[in-house]
Amino acid sequence: MSPKQLTINLLEELVHTAELNQEGKTANYIPELENVNQDLTAIAVQPLGESSLSYSNYPLHPITLQSTAKMIPLIGLLEEFGNEQLFEWVKVEPSGDDFASITRLEQFGPKPSNPMLNAGAITLCSHIPGKGEQQFRWLEHWVQKLFNQRLSINPSVFASEKRTGSRNRSLAYLLESRHNLGTDVSETLDLYFALCSYEAMLEQMLFLPALLANGGIVPDSGERILSTETCKITLAIMATCGLYDETGTHMVKTGMPAKSGVSGYTIAVVPGKAGIVVLSPRVNTKGNSIRGEIMLEGLSKAMNWHFALPY
């Protein structure tokens, strides 16, 4: 099926099929995330060279990025420092463990296994250049670059993250004890909690996966924003680590490099074809959107977008 055959009717069908699944629940260990509509189910697709399409079963509001935001320090630091330096800070091996696993870091550290785990993203946040306000300005710069607009931090979610983030504090102190943080624990965690608390509308999320699908070139303008090398590395990490210890299952079913977040967002990339965003706050114990995965698998099959299929 060609991109021209992608229709609103297909997206509506994918949403309605996913709605039949009643498994999972909101990530209520971050209290503010419990307040979203758990039945919200939505999808948006940006085929390269075509207009974007989206469908949602409920009116949409901004939703926090949560772990999809881990892409921001990864890409920004790759662009500014290069892969050799980045791989001095974190490894790039699939974990097979929980995204906030302390045991994983203790057993296989001192460097975190990959940038998509909490420990990996915390480490990268600690190496954002500058101090204090300079680091937050760095985040703002890269958010605007990767989403093509400014995004806001949800203050309630930020406060909720700080109040309930004991496990992330444990990871940060363990990293500090192994001399693997670039700045102190408090400043690092403020950056990390702020990173996860950026919020965006569904279609605002499309710019980043479409940019990666197009090799770092903005599809509309032709402007190169990211290097080819950064895109290759980022897509490889998404393909092997983007859905934590469910990444293998995801890749077998969809063939799409992706990154999930416990708010229900998942961004996915079909290199050379399209950028995709799915949204459903019903997540499983691994932190991945259940309905989101159903929609991605259905889209992959309908469009023949699995990477292993001939085009």
| pLDDT of res. 29 | 73
Q: From residue 90, give the alpha-carbon distance in Å to each of 98, 123, 191, 194, 302.
A: 17, 7, 17, 21, 37
DSSP label at residue 281 = S
29 is catalytic: no
Q: Does 244 qualify as catalytic in the annotation? A: yes
**pLDDT for residue 256:** 98
208, two tokens: 């980043």
| For the chain, percent of residues with pLDDT exceeding 90 | 77
> In the chain, what is the greatest distance between 2 CA atoms, to the nearest angstrom?
54
Interior CA angle at 39 toward 38 and 42, to 5°?
Answer: 110
Predicted pLDDT of residue 1: 44
Residues 15, 45, 54, 67: which is the catalytic one?
A: 67
Q: Which CATH superfamily is domain 3-63+203-303 in?
A: DD-peptidase/beta-lactamase superfamily (3.40.710.10)
DSSP 61-115: --EE-GGGGGHHHHHHHHHHH-HHHHHHH-------S-TT-HHHHHHH-SS-S-T
Active site residue 92: no
Residues with pLDDT less than 50, the chain: 1-3
192 is catalytic: yes
Please pick, among 92, 111, 192, 197, the residue that the annotation labels catalytic. Answer: 192
Note the CATH number of domain 66-199. 3.40.710.10
Topology match between the domains 3-63+203-303 and 66-199: yes
pLDDT of residue 204: 97
pTM of full prediction above 0.75: yes
Pick the catalytic residue from 45, 54, 55, 70. Answer: 70
Q: Tell which residue, 216, 271, 217, 215, has the closest CA to residue 239.
A: 271
State yes or no: is 262 an active-site residue. Answer: yes
Both structure tokens of 310 = 């001939």
- Would you state the pLDDT for residue 249? 95
Out of 55, 198, 244, 265, pick the active-site residue.
244
Per-domain residue ranges of the chain: 3-63+203-303, 66-199
Q: Do residues 255 and 305 make contact, with C-beta atoms less than 8 angstroms apart?
A: yes
